[in-house]
C-alpha cells in the first residue's frame, strides 16, 4: 500500500490559513497527510492590528483559534516555530522537532524592515502581532496615566511618533487620533498637550496612492491634530528621541515603527535566493529550482510587469495566492503536471482613518468617508466568510457596516 504524500504548510497567516481551508474543503486530506505549523494556536487579522494598538478594538477580536476554523481531525496542527528549511533533504527543522515533506507551502509572514537605521530594534515598537499591539496600547495608556504624576511635566510622555506614512502608519495614526481625546478626558489632560507626528521619508504620505485621496486623508488627520513630516527620513532612533535627517530631534517615549516589512528571516537562513527576505517565485508560485516548494504571502515576490515593480505584500494578494497554491497542490495530488499561473486581481484598496472615516479606490471609483469605511468592513467580512463561512462572520466580523 502506497503511503500518502505529505503536505506541510508553514505559517497560519492569510496565505497559510486559506491554503489549509481550501485543501480541507476540497477533501485533499483523503489523498495526502496535511500538516499546518504555526507558532501560536490562533490566526489573527494582521490588517486589523492598528486598532488594538491604538486601543479602539480589543485584541481578541482580531484573532481566532485555529482549531475553530480548521478541522484538526483532517489537517494536523502543530504549534511550534520554524527554525530552518532543509530544502534538499525535504525537511523542516522546528524548535521542538522536525518534519519531512513531499510538498511544502511557505507562508511565514514578515518582520519589520528597519533599513539599517540605528536604534529601531532597541527603542521602537512595531505593529506585527497580537502581543506587540497589546504592548503598544498598554504603553500609551501608561504614558497618559504617568503624566500627571510628575511634579515637573515631561512633554515627551505625551509625544507620539509614528515612523512611516504608508497604509499601516496612516491607519494607526487615524485610530490613535480618534482615541487621544478619550484618553485626555479620562486622565484630565488638555488635548493641546498631546503631540502626534507622522514621519515619512518619501515625498508623500501613502506613496503610490491616488493624490486626491491622500490629500483628503492628510487634511482629515491634520484636523485631528496630526503633524506630518513628509520627505523627512529618520536618521536614528534613541532611547526617548528620534533624530531626523534634517537635524531636528523629537523627544518622545513612544516611537512606533511602520515603515514596511521584509520576508521572514527563515527564508534567507534556509538558503533561498531572496530580496529583503522575499523570493521571486515562478508563475505557479513555486520556488525557482524546487518544484516541491510553494512560497506565498509576504515571503513571495511577485513583479507587476506593467510598472516593473513588486506588488506590495497585502492580505488581498496572499488570499488570492492561497487559492492558486491549493489548486496546484490538488493537481499534483491527482498526478497532473499543468500548473495554474498566479495572476493578481487587485479589486481595490481601502485605508481606514479611524472612526467611520476611510479612503479607498475600487476599480475607477474613489471612495471617501463613511462609504469607504463601509466598504472596508465588507472586505474584512468577506475574508472571514471565505475562511469560515457565516458562523465566523457572525462571531468575528464587523457587522455594524454604517
Residue 153: the pLDDT is 67
- Is residue 171 annotated as a catalytic residue, yes or no? yes
The label of the residue with cell 507622522 reads 198
d(CA 116, CA 276): 12
Task: Return the number of other C-beta atoms located less than 10 Å from residue 95's C-beta.
Answer: 9
User: Do 322 and 294 form a contact (C-beta atoms < 8 A)?
Assistant: no
CB 130 within 8 A of CB 159: no
233 with 227: CB under 8 angstroms?
no
Separation CA 41–CA 47 (nearest Å): 19
Given 84, 95, 141, 171, the catalytic residue:
171
DSSP state of 202: S
pLDDT of residue 2: 66
Q: If 0-12 CB within 10 Å is exposed, 13-18 middle and 19+ buried, where does residue 91 land?
A: middle
CB-CB neighbours of 219 under 10 Å: 9
The string of pLDDT tens digits covering residues 257-316 is 999 899 999 999 999 999 999 999 999 999 999 999 999 999 999 998 888 888 888 999
DSSP assigned state of 298: G
Q: How many residues does the chain have?
A: 402
Sheet containing strand 249-251, strands side by side = 234-238, 241-244, 249-251
Residue 37, burial from CB neighbour count under 10 angstroms (0-12, 13-18, 19+): buried
**In the Cβ-directed half-sphere of 296, how many Cα atoms lie within 13 Å?**
34
Q: Checking DSSP bridges between strand 226-230 and strand 195-200, what pairing results, if any?
A: parallel
Q: Which three cell numbers stand for residue 29?
A: 486530506
Give the model's pLDDT for residue 347: 83
Instruction: Extract the residue ranges of the chain whose pLDDT is less than 50.
Output: 1
What is the 3-class SS of 33-49, one letter each residue?
A: EEEEEECCCEEECHHHC
Phi, psi for residue 131 in degrees, rounded to 5 = -65, -40
CA dist., res. 296 & res. 278, Å (int): 10
N-to-C CA span, the chain: 57
Cβ–Cβ < 8 Å for 159, 252: yes
d(CA 62, CA 70): 17
What's the pTM?
0.94
Whole-angstrom distance, CA of residue 360 vs CA of residue 378: 13
Tell me the C-alpha distance between 346 and 316, whole Å: 8
CA atoms within 13 A on the CB side of 238: 10
Amino acid at each position: 500500500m502506497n503511503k500518502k504524500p505529505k503536505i506541510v504548510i508553514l505559517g497560519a497567516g492569510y496565505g497559510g490559513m486559506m491554503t489549509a481551508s481550501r485543501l480541507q474543503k476540497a477533501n485533499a486530506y483523503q489523498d495526502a497527510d496535511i500538516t499546518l505549523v504555526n507558532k501560536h494556536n490562533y490566526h489573527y487579522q494582521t490588517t486589523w492590528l492598528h486598532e488594538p494598538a491604538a486601543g479602539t478594538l480589543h485584541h481578541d477580536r482580531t484573532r481566532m483559534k485555529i482549531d475553530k476554523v480548521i478541522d484538526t481531525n483532517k489537517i494536523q496542527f502543530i504549534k511550534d516555530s520554524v527554525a530552518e528549511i532543509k530544502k534538499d533533504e525535504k525537511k523542516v527543522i522546528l524548535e521542538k522537532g522536525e518534519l519531512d515533506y513531499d510538498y511544502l507551502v511557505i507562508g511565514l509572514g514578515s518582520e519589520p524592515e528597519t533599513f539599517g537605521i540605528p536604534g529601531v530594534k532597541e527603542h521602537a515598537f512595531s505593529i506585527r502581532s497580537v502581543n506587540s499591539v497589546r504592548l503598544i496600547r498598554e504603553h500609551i495608556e501608561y504614558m497618559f496615566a504617568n503624566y500627571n504624576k510628575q511634579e515637573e511635566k515631561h512633554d515627551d510622555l505625551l509625544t507620539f511618533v509614528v515612523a512611516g506614512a504608508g497604509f499601516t502608519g496612516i491607519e494607526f495614526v487615524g485610530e490613535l487620533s480618534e482615541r487621544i481625546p478619550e484618553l485626555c478626558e479620562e486622565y484630565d489632560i488638555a488635548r493641546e498637550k498631546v503631540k502626534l507626528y507622522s514621519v515619512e521619508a518619501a515625498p508623500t504620505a501613502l506613496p503610490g496612492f491616488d493624490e486626491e485621496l491622500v490629500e483628503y486623508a492628510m487634511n482629515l488627520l491634520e484636523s485631528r491634530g496630526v503633524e506630518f513630516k513628509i520627505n523627512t527620513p529618520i536618521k536614528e532612533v534613541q532611547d526617548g528621541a528620534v533624530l531626523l535627517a534634517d537635524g531636528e530631534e523629537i523627544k518622545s517615549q513612544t516611537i512606533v515603527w511602520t515603515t514596511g516589512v521584509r520576508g521572514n528571516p527563515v527564508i534567507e537562513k534556509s538558503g533561498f535566493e531572496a530580496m529583503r527576505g522575499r523570493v521571486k517565485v515562478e508563475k505557479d508560485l513555486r520556488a525557482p529550482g524546487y518544484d516541491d516548494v510553494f512560497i506565498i504571502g509576504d515571503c513571495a515576490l511577485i513583479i507587476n510587469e506593467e510598472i516593473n515593480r513588486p506588488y506590495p505584500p497585502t492580505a488581498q494578494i496572499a488570499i488570492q495566492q492561497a487559492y492558486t497554491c491549493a489548486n496546484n497542490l490538488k493537481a499534483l495530488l491527482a498526478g497532473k503536471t499543468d500548473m495554474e499561473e498566479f495572476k493578481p486581481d487587485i479589486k481595490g484598496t481601502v485605508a481606514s482613518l479611524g472612526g467611520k472615516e476611510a479612503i479607498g479606490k475600487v476599480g475607477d471609483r474613489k471612495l471617501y468617508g463613511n462609504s469607504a469605511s463601509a466598504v472596508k468592513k465588507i472586505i474584512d467580512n468577506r475574508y472571514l466568510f471565505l475562511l469560515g463561512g457565516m458562523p465566523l462572520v457572525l462571531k468575528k466580523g464587523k457587522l455594524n457596516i454604517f
